[in-house]
């Protein structure tokens, strides 16, 4: 039987033992379902019981789902709404690839962690990269194969058997906040990157002005997010693994008007109309909220 939850004895970022309760949870995590952790869930404002590390300031779920339990949930995820928004998501990923190519001009092997249905990897292949990736959702792995001809590793990134120093670039777009073992994930990234390789990491910023302004309605407060990073904790995580941060940006999202309206139940009647939905899906909206980090970090050329 899978053990579902575990209390923290140390910070999952720095290993510090000075932990304190930060905020009480707002949903019953003991009944967590797979549909609550899919990419397009809209249960905003729902958080786990959170603890704060007094050494690095990291905020994280405590108790947290065990790696085995969270993998079992993501393994069940099916998310057609994610794939329907492929055009908008392609704009997001294309911007990342262009920034990555400025830092890492030689387009060799690229690995995507939490590859979903393979949209980023498909774009990377079109731009001359050799793509590979890992995805926990069996549905996502099959969709990537059927739609793009991509063969993804199926399972947890931290446990995947991957060749060391094999990749010139690695992307973690909205992944690190979903894993109960972020330090292990970053160490794994360093292990499979070639010397001088580049990591691109995107994750929400809990101290952003948008997070403060939105309060409990911030869209990144959701059951699938097990951790909330700050500049301080994220820098600590990357530097302790041996990465050098070479560029920081604020991530800007692009979604269709249909997708954004579908996040609100009050617009159900509008988005259900086939003609209206088709029209709204053709309208891109850029959200430059500045509430996510976009960080590029290098593995030492000598390591």
Share of residues in the chain with pLDDT > 90 (%) = 80
Average pLDDT, the chain: 92
In tens, the pLDDT along 54-96 reads: 999 999 999 999 999 999 999 999 999 999 889 889 999 999 9
pLDDT value at position 269? 46
In tens, the pLDDT along 102-159 reads: 999 889 999 999 999 999 999 999 999 999 999 999 999 999 999 999 999 999 999 9
Domain boundaries, the chain: 79-252+288-299
pLDDT(28) > 90: yes
Phi and psi dihedrals of 233, rounded to 5? -70, -35
Share of residues in the chain with pLDDT > 70 (%) = 89
Q: Which residue has the higher pLDDT, 112 or 280?
A: 112
CATH class of 79-252+288-299: alpha beta
pLDDT value at position 243? 97
pLDDT(227) > 80: yes
């Amino acid at each position: 039987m899978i053990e579902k939850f575990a209390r923290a004895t140390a910070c999952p970022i720095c290993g510090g033992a000075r932990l304190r309760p930060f905020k009480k949870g707002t949903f019953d995590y003991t009944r967590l379902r797979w549909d609550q952790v899919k990419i397009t869930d809209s249960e905003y404002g729902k958080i786990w019981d959170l603890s704060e590390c007094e050494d690095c300031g990291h905020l994280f779920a405590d108790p947290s789902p065990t790696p085995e339990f969270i993998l079992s949930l993501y393994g069940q995820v099916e998310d057609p709404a994610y794939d329907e928004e492929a055009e908008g998501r392609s704009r997001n990923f294309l911007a990342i690839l262009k920034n990555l190519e400025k830092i890492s001009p030689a387009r060799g092997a690229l690995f995507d962690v939490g590859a979903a249905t393979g949209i980023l990897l498909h774009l990377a292949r079109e731009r001359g990269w050799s793509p590979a990736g890992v995805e926990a959702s069996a549905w996502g792995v099959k969709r990537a194969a059927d739609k793009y001809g991509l063969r993804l590793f199926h399972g947890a990134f931290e446990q995947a058997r991957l060749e060391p120093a094999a990749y010139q670039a690695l992307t973690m777009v909205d992944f690190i906040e979903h894993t109960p073992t972020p330090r292990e994930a970053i160490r794994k990234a360093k292990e499979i990157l070639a010397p001088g390789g580049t990591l691109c990491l995107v994750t929400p910023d809990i101290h952003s002005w948008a997070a403060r302004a939105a309060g409990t309605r911030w869209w990144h407060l959701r059951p699938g997010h097990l951790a909330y990073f700050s500049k301080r904790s994220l820098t600590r995580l990357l530097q302790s693994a041996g990465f050098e941060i070479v560029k920081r940006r604020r991530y800007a999202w692009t979604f269709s008007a249909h997708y954004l309206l579908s996040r609100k139940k009050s617009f159900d009647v509008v988005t259900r109309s086939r003609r209206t939905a088709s029209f709204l899906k053709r309208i891109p909206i850029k959200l430059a909220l500045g509430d996510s980090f976009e960080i590029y970090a290098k593995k030492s050329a000598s390591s």
